[in-house]
Amino acid sequence: MQEFPTFTSHLECSATGAHYPADALHGLSQAGKPLLVRYDLEAMRRVINRDELAGRAERGFWRYREMLPVRHAANVISLGEVATPVVPAPAAARLHGASVLLVKDEGRLPTGSFKARGLALAVSMAKELGVTRMAMPTNGNAGAALAAYASRAGIESWVFCPDDTPAVNVREMAAAGAHVYLVNGLIDDCGRLVGEGKAGMGWFDASTLKEPYRIEGKKTMGVELAEQLGWQLPDAIFYPTGGGTGLIGMWKAFAELEALGFIDSRRPRMVAVQAAGCAPIVHAWQQGREHAETWQDARTIAAGIRVPAAIGDFLILRAIRDSHGFAIAVEDEAIIRAGAEFARLEGLLLCPEGAATYAAWRAALASGQLRPDERAVLFNCAIGLKYPLPAAGTRIDCRQPLDIAALTAATA
């Protein structure tokens, strides 16, 4: 990759607007809130345009490198990211009376989830800023992406996950070189341990929104989606919301794209999807609050959205309200049924969190929150194959002649 022009002007506190210098290591702002990367968009606008972008050979999100904070090409840590496909789901749309339904399938990224976007940027920037040790709490996919990108960057990684995190995630993190710890608590308990170990271990804390660059990586979902749809954003985006990095990142992307003259002022309705067993954002949205209360006794099979408290809660809620979107909770039962239905209809295996967006889309159509003519995009955030599947298969005795009647009965 060639050197490229970069445009980061400063970092900004998302709550107070206070400025912080770029090119220095930062965690949260002094107010304890997430920092956002700001760019000289006027200067950027003179360098990139839609036509030139269309001619670039690079397919994955590094094709938007001028919109990203990494200064030097040598610090770009890449595992061969692809532009994830937008897959139409015509059978599901037909079944539920909608004109169209699209799924952005993020499971195609390295480490099998969209966490690759955020951690690719966080690790590249950590390398650029001289970090040698990173740590984070994780429900699985973020830790896997951290482990992979950090190992590739020559950075050591430590991950702390709830002890019921899916085994495949735990083993993946260890295989990719992380020090892995299983904690008898939830992700916020894991986050506390990272905080306690930071000083003594010399860790840079890569927790969701506690460093400024994962948002920039997740932002590329919005840029990529816009480009794939011919710079016409959809009417609604259903996003499985844990820490909300992707929802906040896409909302930021749309503002930057408008400033660059790539899109007009129309925006999709941003829909935050949570599990009924852990729905702090839905609750806060219903109550008209600016911040969410910590959810007690969080439980859901959708581990990626089992986040009882999100430090960027006010940014998630603001994007939902500014976009005239909504927040919606779905039961685990509905998630399981939706995932099974979608795989059967469309042949695409969703992860539980992706299935939650399909369950929410169905519910929103049924309740009238979404009109059948609204073009919706669901985010399938991880590859379905990472998750346990129900037992299947009928046994056959190969020492007997094939019994056609039995086969017909088994498939009936």
Which stretches of the chain bind ligand PLP, using CB under 6 A? 113, 115, 141-142, 208, 240-246, 304-305, 351, 353, 381-382
Classify strands 101-105 and 86-88 as parallel, antiparallel or unpaired. antiparallel
Q: How far is the CB of 386 from ligand PLP (least distance, A)?
A: 8
Backbone φ, ψ for residue 317 (5° rounding): -65, -35
* Pick from 365, 376, 375: nearest CA to 97: 365
> Which CB, 22 or 206, lies closer to ligand PLP?
206
Chain position whose Cβ is nearest to ligand PLP: 304
> Which CB, 8 or 380, lies closer to ligand PLP?
380
Q: How far is the CB of 59 from ligand PLP (least distance, A)?
A: 22
> Which CB, 280 or 304, lies closer to ligand PLP?
304
Residue 115 corresponds to which tokens in the numbers above? 């966490």
Q: How far is the CB of 184 from ligand PLP (least distance, A)?
A: 21
Q: What is the CB neighbour count within 10 angstroms for residue 199? A: 8
Extract the runs of DSSP E, i.e. beta strands, from 18-92.
19-20, 35-39, 86-88
Backbone φ, ψ for residue 363 (5° rounding): -65, -40
219 half-sphere exposure, CB direction, 13 A CA radius: 27
Q: How far is the CB of 220 from ligand PLP (least distance, A)?
A: 13
* DSSP secondary structure string for all residues of 245-275: HHHHHHHHHHHHHHHTTSS-S--PEEEEEEE
Backbone φ, ψ for residue 95 (5° rounding): -60, -35
Q: How far is the CB of 141 from ligand PLP (least distance, A)?
A: 3
> Which CB, 126 or 305, lies closer to ligand PLP?
305
> Which CB, 48 or 136, lies closer to ligand PLP?
136
> Which CB, 69 or 107, lies closer to ligand PLP?
107
- Check: CB of residue 44 under 8 Å from CB of residue 260: yes
Residue 102 corresponds to which tokens in the numbers above? 């699209």
How far apart CA 113 and CA 99 sit, in angstroms, is: 28
* DSSP secondary structure string for all residues of 361-403: HHHHHHHTSS-TTS-EEEEE-BBGGGS----------TTS---
> Which CB, 48 or 271, lies closer to ligand PLP?
271
> Which CB, 277 or 304, lies closer to ligand PLP?
304
How far apart CA 219 and CA 359 sit, in angstroms, is: 24
